[in-house]
Amino acid sequence: MRAWLAIGVGLAVASLAGADEPPTADPAELGKGKLLVAAHQLADPNFAQSVVLLLGYGRLGALGVIINRPTTVQLSEVVPESLRVTPQAGVVYGGGPVAPSVMLLLFRAEQPPDESLPVFADVYLSGSPSVVEDELARGGTFRMYAGHAGWAPGQLDGEVERGDWHIVAADIDAVFHRPAEDLWSELIQRTTGRWVDLRPPRAADHGSG
């Protein structure tokens, strides 16, 4: 099944993100529009060295997408040919381990279109096929995510209390423009003051043995 066919299901997922608490201005508190930066000790392979944008947080739980996991799948491979999306449009991002065949669109817009939900600033979320088609045709700033991350009520709070996540306010540059391979190391340094070198060690670094 082409991933495009699952976008309609994404509308129901996006609706869950709308059932959240009022946004909080405290950058250290959980809430929609915050970034979760995986702590050094978080070893779960689904989330190790991940950065998650929270799309919803409240009495129904929490929902987000991992924003630093680009796949090798071109966006042009999963949308209808009628949209004439070129490879220059970029790749699909792996949004998380939940419902990986469901596609969600994160995009910037001056005015919120129908069937979309605000996330932060001028960034909106939608799983509606019509919105996806309009935004792709418009050629604005967007990213498409396959799958998402989800937490049951209270689950994410417990993980934060355990020290698995650092919380920072989201910004446009981090979500859409900063290189994905650098994002986690930059944010973890900002939150903990510790630089992380992700480059493979050179042979000389091992010594002569």
CB 155 within 8 A of CB 19: no
Average of per-residue pLDDT across 17-37: 77
Question: Three-state SS string across the chain, please?
Answer: CCHHHHCCHHHHHHHHHCCCCCCCCCCCCCCCCEEEEECCCCCCCCCCCCEEEEEEEECCEEEEEECCCEEEEEHHHCCCHHHCCCHHHCEEEECCCEEEEEEEEEEECCCCCCCCEEEECCEEEECCHHHHHHHHHHCCCEEEEEEEEEECCCHHHHHHHHCCEEEEECCHHHHHHCCHHHHHHHHHHHHHCCCCCCCCCCHHHHCCC
Q: Could you tell me which CATH class the domain 3-194 is placed in?
A: alpha beta
Span 32-82, pLDDT tens digits: 999 999 999 999 999 999 999 999 998 888 999 999 999 999 888 887 776
Averaged pLDDT score across all residues of the chain: 83
Span 135-159, pLDDT tens digits: 888 888 999 999 999 999 999 999 9
Could you tell me the pTM of the whole model? 0.84
Query: Would you kindly state where each structural domain of the chain is located, as residue ranges?
Result: 3-194
Distance CA 20, CA 55 (A): 9
Phi and psi at 129, nearest 5°, equal -55, -40
Q: Please tell me the predicted confidence (pLDDT) of residue 205.
A: 45
* Backbone φ/ψ region at 139: left (φ over 0), alpha (ψ -120 to 50), beta: left
